[in-house]
Amino acid sequence: MGMFDWKQQPSDVLRQGGVIAPDERLPWPQTAAMGVQHVIAMFGATVLAPILMGFDPNIAILMSGVGTLVFFLVTGGKVPSYLGSSFAFIGVVIAATTYAGKGPNGNIGVALGGIIACGVLYTLIGAIVQAVGTGWVERLMPPVVTGAVVAVIGLNLAGIPIKNMAASNFDSWMQAVTFTCVGLVAVFTRGMVQRLLILVGLIIASIVYALLANGLGLGKPMDLSGIANAAWFGAPAFSAPVFDAGAMLLIAPVAIILVAENLGHIKAVTAMTGRNLDPYIGRAFIGDGVATMISGAAGGTGVTTYAENIGVMAATKIYSTAVFLVAAVIAVVLGFSPKFGAVIQAIPLPVMGGVSIVVFGLIAVAGAKIWVDNRVDFSQNRNLIVAAITLVLGTGDFTLKFGGFALGGIGTATFGAILLYALLNRGADTQPQTSTHKAA
């Protein structure tokens, strides 16, 4: 089938419990509605990641839309996925830029150069996969490795909200209120509200914050003046990359994590749709890599396929790639709205801190879920040692220096897990497995 060759489906397919395949679509009104739902699903994480790195959320949203369009074109419209801000970059970007955790990142250019380098490496890996297949990736990064690396991304970031995003006792209590709100939404709501647990919890906590700070004077009041003064439409503040060798060496290895999560996502979508998407894995890596380079060149974060949107597909049984075209276009429009950016900037820092605690915790648990889903056997000393050492290297921010270059935290954990597994696995009779989940 051609790139835009979708089959028109009757509007009552969903009522009959039917499955909409990647190369099929609902009538455009329903497709548009589904696109809006996918924008909402990716929204919380795609906006949160740039804020935690001091990037412009407007550009991140814009580039998530552009990246999704690029991914669609490179994969020929065959792989249903949304590309949003990757949390795998947060730790290394903060390390490369010495970002303090609040306001715009004054050293953003250095991070952008590293993000572009990561995109180049990711694209090269995709080209190799396209030529020889994924077997070597699966042998290099079995579930015990990918699970540990994903868990480390969350654990390495744990100190940021707790140490940097609560300036007072009131702020700390507001963080607790926030993650409690998210937890209540997650457990006691249903349907779309439950799937938007981060966004809904954040809104509730912001209202509580306004009542306590603006109303009772217990904390720093929310400043909403920026929202009123911001224009509805306008160009975002693009940033130019700076190519620093140290930052590029630090950030580029994130490509390994992106490969693991993208591979897991495609395997998951293959299982859900019954369509073999393995022939498109190399193109998916290339699409994600090119999208990451384009995003970095404009001032955006690195991008990755999103578990949130895979969750929406699993719930709705609509895997149509046409839906992601609509979602991408909506994201591009939002990216050109300064008022949208002003709303994001008005969110109180401790509320963002409380949400971060939840998100980073969910990333860590997602790593453990990879182990559970793939039945990783921890009675084998090889698996036990690889996981144990990786978790402490990443959480403790273990750093190795090579001359003037320092590799710390997530970097040492990622390379350590891969090299340690390869060393301990020599001569062992094991079968390669693939992971089935990822971090947001």
Residue 294, pLDDT above cutoff 90: yes
DSSP state, residue 230: S
> What is the pLDDT, as a whole number, of residue 289?
95
* Mean pLDDT along residues 213-220: 79
| Most confident among 15-19, 227-231, 407-411 (mean pLDDT) | 227-231
Where along the chain do its domains lie?
Answer: 20-151+239-343+364-424
Question: Which of the pair, 129 or 339, is modelled with greater confidence?
Answer: 129
Q: Indicate the pTM of the whole model.
A: 0.72
DSSP state, residue 279: G
Residue 436, pLDDT above cutoff 50: no
Encoded tokens for 422: 């390869």
pLDDT by residue (tens digit) across 371-402?
888 898 899 889 999 999 999 998 888 887 76
- Using DSSP's 3-state secondary structure scheme, residue 401 falls into strand
Poorest-pLDDT segment among 38-42, 90-94, 334-338 = 38-42
Encoded tokens for 41: 């699903």
Q: How far is CA 285 from CA 44, 64, 303, 314, 382, in A?
A: 24, 16, 11, 22, 29
* Mean pLDDT along residues 174-185: 89
> What is the pLDDT, as a whole number, of residue 235?
80
Q: What is 349-396 written as a DSSP string? A: HHHHHHHHHHHHHHHHHHHHHHHHHTT--TTSHHHHHHHHHHHHHHHT
- The mean pLDDT value of the chain amounts to 80
